[in-house]
Amino acid sequence: MYLKKIAAFLCLTLFVLCCQNNSNKINIDGLTAELQAKLDELTEHKDIPGATLAVVLPDERTISIASGTADIGKKRKMVPGDRMFSGSIGKTYLVPIILQLEKENKLKIHDPVKKYFKGEEWYSQLPNRKDLTLRMLLNHTGGIPEYVGKAALWEDIKKFPDKTWEPIERLKHILGDKPVNAAGKGWNYADTNYIILGMIIEKITGNTYYDELDKRVLKPLKLHNTTPSDKRELKGLIPGYSRLGAPFYISGKVLTEDGKYIFNPQLEWTGGGLVTNSLELALWAKWLYEGKILPGKALEKMLTGVKAGEGFDYGLGVFIWNSDFGISYGHSGFVPGYNSVMEYVSGHKFSAALQFNCDNVSEVLKKSSHDNTAEFIKIVIKFL
């Protein structure tokens, strides 16, 4: 048994050294030049002001580039470290907290949701309330409608842009609605699910969600440029540009002249709720999906998906894409004025993240976030 362990260790060591040697042979300058040319192609479109791209290679060497304009009025060029909203990518930070709490025996993801809201009046109006489990919230199979798409919500936002939103004030927009599907029998993406999960985290820990996030994820990983989007004025947030129709009806620059966002982004909370840059998104994707945060069974649990759409499954807060270059894990997200996506390519052990200071990228390029990112992924694979 002892000899077998030594042999296994030597095999693993040789494998790691082999990967490192192959990675060190990468023509970084050539790769960077090709990625830059591709990124420049995107910002040549008049409706895409600027973009940043980061890649974390198998040995964790990084590439960070930028293209286009960060602030049209001031004619400031985009730089690699510019910070933007990451939108629904924020869900990927919540899931490890839930799974850590499960490891600490403070919850189980198969728990019924009603266990955490006994006697609370609002819960009696939640669609599928009797059959919901935490897992269904995590993978969007509970049939709960999306509160973000409600026109009445956006009317309130425009009337009260400084409003600090309580969880129930978000949820009231879907209470009493019919479920989208029977609990566990379909897939319907909704921020609403993660608002409820945020409430559960705070009930269990007695702390705010952002305190738990800081303690469990951001500080240990030294993700200093990833911070809560919990107020209208956020340090280092560059301007974004929106062309959203119903129900948002937001058009033009989304930062005021004194640097405030058009409304309080605290609304998003555990549905996203972060400002970051593309390098920290790419690092997060690599560390998360390689098991640095959730080793073993917890990682396997997170990456076990359900059929969600054509060409992709959805696990616990993660899109699982099946492409011609293999399986990749990640998430996309948008906030009015901004669009982001991060992916980890499992077969090649590298990650990539893209951010744009506009929200209509898919419409302009006629491609999904994943298909757009795939073009950069294929360039990286060519150099490995």
- Give the CATH number for residue 237: 3.40.710.10
The answer to which of 5-19, 102-116, 278-292, 324-338 has the lowest mean pLDDT is: 5-19
Distance CA 23, CA 380 (A): 11
Tokens matching residue 130: 């009797």
Tokens matching residue 261: 């966002």
The answer to which of 21-25, 234-238, 264-268 has the lowest mean pLDDT is: 21-25
For residue 145, what are the CA distances in angstroms to 7, 121, 165? Answer: 53, 19, 19
Distance CA 383, CA 365 (A): 25
Can you tell me the mean pLDDT for 165-183? 98
Indicate if the pLDDT at residue 338 is higher than 70.
yes
CA atoms within 13 A on the CB side of 267: 22
Q: Are 365 and 38 in contact (CB under 8 A)?
A: no
Does the residue 18 lie in any domain?
no
**In the prediction, which pLDDT does 22 show?**
53
Distance of CA 115 to the CA centre of its chain: 28
- What is the pairing mode between strands 241-244 and 227-228? unpaired
Distance CA 88, CA 369 (A): 13
Task: Return the number of other C-beta atoms located less than 10 Å from residue 134's C-beta.
Answer: 25
The rounded percent of the chain whose pLDDT value lies above 90 is 93
Residue 206 sits in which domain range?
Answer: 25-383
For residue 110, what are the CA distances in angstroms to 42, 99, 113, 115, 117? Answer: 43, 11, 9, 11, 15
Distance CA 210, CA 169 (A): 19
**In the prediction, which pLDDT does 18 show?**
45
pLDDT confidence band for 25 (50 / 70 / 90): confident
**In the prediction, which pLDDT does 271 show?**
98
CA atoms within 13 A on the CB side of 326: 12
Distance CA 66, CA 68 (A): 7
Distance CA 301, CA 298 (A): 5
Can you tell me the mean pLDDT for 48-58? 98
- pTM score of the predicted model: 0.93
**In the prediction, which pLDDT does 263 show?**
98
**In the prediction, which pLDDT does 295 show?**
86
SS3 58: coil
Does the residue 271 lie in any domain?
yes
Does the residue 371 lie in any domain?
yes
Q: Are 383 and 268 in contact (CB under 8 A)?
A: no
If you count them, how many residues does the chain have?
Answer: 384
Distance CA 214, CA 225 (A): 12
pLDDT confidence band for 182 (50 / 70 / 90): very high
Indicate if the pLDDT at residue 83 is higher than 80.
yes
Does the residue 11 lie in any domain?
no
Distance CA 374, CA 328 (A): 10
| Tens of pLDDT, residues 194-236 | 999 999 999 999 999 999 999 999 999 999 999 999 999 999 9
**In the prediction, which pLDDT does 20 show?**
45
| Tens of pLDDT, residues 352-375 | 999 999 999 999 999 999 999 999
Distance of CA 118 to the CA centre of its chain: 31
| Tens of pLDDT, residues 279-323 | 999 999 999 999 999 989 999 999 999 999 999 999 999 999 999
Distance of CA 234 to the CA centre of its chain: 19
Does the residue 14 lie in any domain?
no
Q: Are 43 and 51 in contact (CB under 8 A)?
A: yes
Structural domains in the chain (count): 1
| Tens of pLDDT, residues 84-140 | 999 999 999 999 999 999 999 999 999 999 999 999 999 999 999 999 999 999 999
Best CA proximity match to 74, nearest among 39, 41, 50: 50
Does the residue 156 lie in any domain?
yes
Best CA proximity match to 67, nearest among 35, 34, 40: 40
Indicate if the pLDDT at residue 4 is higher than 60.
no
Tokens matching residue 16: 């790691």
Distance CA 151, CA 157 (A): 10
